[in-house]
Structure 1
């Protein structure tokens, strides 16, 4: 699209603190070399944004939240921009983008830990009056800075399937990489939210001999079975002698972490990814770790390769798992404040789109 046809401003829902949002018009930025401007077609509501407005995690405000989104390239800076595979992007291309923006030069980036770049910026986590104001998905447009990873969306992958890839699915890819080979392994997944459901599908797809899921929500346990779980029950119902080779905690609950650790067999491995908010300390017996050759590791965010792996996985399994069914029908962007509550039942993601507003469509509040 010719830049002369672009609007001058983006329509955004700016978080102003607490549970409050304000509709604002934000000037579109001038693009630097290697940058892009995209129109947001769909954004899903990640649980971390709900935690932010409820005070469970800090966040600058006013700011534009939203880090799970899919959109179309509208304009490119000098020299253009490329996707993960190095393909030069063109106006009209559908893309998703990473949660993190890294410098690529610091010691952490050079060591392959770009998610902890010393100059890290995060999609949907930046102040509106900062150097990257138009950074969130709850807006009609987003400024894709140099250093962000962009992944092309195949035509066969819908917006509803693509948007959660940018956070939930990509994070699971990082978690499962940390877990190691899964073929013929017994896997325990604690927490059957969006990440847990994806983890079930990945573990099954990679040849796990059994995938055990623990959650207190019976509807989500049923959903886990549809996405590959061989055993899905409430915590505390494990039989005597229950043991696994891999334990993945995506719940962040201290009791779940302790139970998962106790279930590890000889040479077992536990990956923690759900503990992203302050909580009580967990006691892990170091003697048992030594004598049983156990490994405990943590994963936070993901690397660029995981975003591409996640998109490839969703495309490859689109006829096996109903990814679209995990996302509710989109609501207008103006209704965002009414969607900032934990999903219930089989719904794992609420979603918004600015397109309905542009077309003059309106819906009653949920």
Structure 2
């Protein structure tokens, strides 16, 4: 039987490890806009072969979590939100492994992928497990009996087989590692898509949006020898972009002849960008990303993850300039691995720790989401051990939360 941290017990059944940590794991359940999260306790966790139970050290609030709670995204409810986090393995099911196939060990500090794939369907076999035909996503699934700990806004997450689990450094600040499993890995996937079309070294790269994905894409591209222009309407985000390797920034709200405008930044670059990464989701930014490219360039669209107005497109211009359009949504395990290694090796060069502002207790999650909805920090942290969690009602075995 797998050893656990102090205060936990297990019982084993056929191919299942039943874990009963003490105290019981807790999770924050979201039901509908305008209603505060409800806290539940999960006394028993049944780990199937390949599963793991991970105690969360720190989670961060993604923009998609904010949009969900505001009612801007269609989501099955009730559910446990959150999909950016770092934690320690406290229990494992039989045969649980890391993303590289090594046996997972209790006590390892890890991050894990947003998605759970089957590894056998046509899409998984093609190397796109994030689009598995039966994909499930942490922080996106309706609460169900047996998988109540399905999101990051909890004391523990029940990580299922088919999830890429990546061991990470024990010495790095949690604020550097928690966002890796969403924005950081997605930025790696975006640059991977771009570099398949054109080399980054010596290339002008333009990034629209200085959020987590945009800033990380900036650092990645600069690290590979690109000259990066970051476009964002917020002055403090443009200032931050300079610390993430941007050679220049631009304010898209300025008229083209004004210093600091997008047109001025492109003129100063001396050559047209061959890579554009659109990480804001703005329709105008998508159009600008495509329009800004030089001959043979590639536009990687990352931010358009919600319904929006149509983007004007000049097909003749696309054809004559030999433009490539690529969409990136989530990432494959190799991107998560590369993201973890990048922040581990380059966190002293780029201030990833500054991306997480105030950290709230798990019981104060609603205050954290309100803060995340503002225009301040790129991410807000959520720490289960920051202070005692508000009293929770127990989730009875065999029943899911009623909502």
TM-score by length of structure 1 reads: 0.94
1:259-313 Cα offsets, whole Å, 9 max, x none, are 1111110101100010001111001111111111110110000000000000000
Say whether residues 1:238 and 2:262 are aligned partners. yes
Q: 1:288 and 1:154 mapped to 2: Cα distance? A: 47
- Once the two structures are overlaid, the 10-residue window that deviates more, 180-189 or 128-137, is 128-137
SS in 1 for 2:55: strand
1:117-153 Cα offsets, whole Å, 9 max, x none, are 1100001111112563311010011101100110001
Q: 1:239 and 1:144 mapped to 2: Cα distance? A: 47
Q: 1:261 and 1:36 mapped to 2: Cα distance? A: 43
The residue correspondences of 1:1-366 to structure 2 (distance < 5 A) are 1-2=3-4, 3-4=8-9, 6-7=21-22, 9-19=24-34, 20-79=36-95, 81-129=96-144, 132-180=147-195, 181-208=199-226, 210-235=227-252, 236=254, 237-239=261-263, 242=267, 243-341=272-370, 342=372, 344=374, 347-358=377-388
Shift of 1:316: 1.1
Shift of 1:186: 0.5
Shift of 1:357: 2.8
Q: 2:41 and 2:389 mapped to 1: Cα distance? A: 18
Q: 2:232 and 2:66 mapped to 1: Cα distance? A: 20
Q: 1:175 and 1:131 mapped to 2: Cα distance? A: 35
Q: 1:359 to 1:65 in 2, by over 3 A?
A: closer
1:145-200 Cα offsets, whole Å, 9 max, x none, are 10011000112322110000010100001000111121111001000111111111
SS in 2 for 1:247: strand
Q: 1:184 to 1:330 in 2, by over 3 A?
A: same
Q: Is the 8 A contact 2:207 2:231 kept in 1?
A: yes
Q: 1:159 and 1:261 mapped to 2: Cα distance? A: 36
Q: CA RMSD in A?
A: 1.7
List, as ranges, runs of 4+ consecutive aligned residues in structure 1 with deviation greater than 6 Å.
Answer: none
SS in 2 for 1:356: coil
Which of the two has higher C-alpha Rg? 2
Q: How many residues align?
A: 358
Q: Is the 8 A contact 1:185 1:245 kept in 2?
A: yes
State the match for 2:12 in structure 1: none
Q: 1:291 and 1:141 mapped to 2: Cα distance? A: 53
SS in 1 for 2:299: strand
Unmatched runs of 5 consecutive residues or more in structure 1: 361-366
Q: 1:307 to 1:149 in 2, by over 3 A?
A: same
Q: 1:172 to 1:156 in 2, by over 3 A?
A: same
Q: Is the 8 A contact 1:157 1:314 kept in 2?
A: no
Shift of 1:112: 0.8
Q: 1:178 to 1:206 in 2, by over 3 A?
A: same
- Once the two structures are overlaid, the 10-residue window that deviates more, 9-18 or 239-248, is 239-248
Unmatched runs of 5 consecutive residues or more in structure 2: 10-19, 255-260, 391-403
Q: 1:107 and 1:149 mapped to 2: Cα distance? A: 18
Shift of 1:92: 1.2
TM-score by length of structure 2 reads: 0.85
Q: 2:146 and 2:132 mapped to 1: Cα distance? A: 17
Q: 1:344 and 1:50 mapped to 2: Cα distance? A: 10
Q: 1:359 and 1:320 mapped to 2: Cα distance? A: 36
State the match for 1:364 in structure 2: none
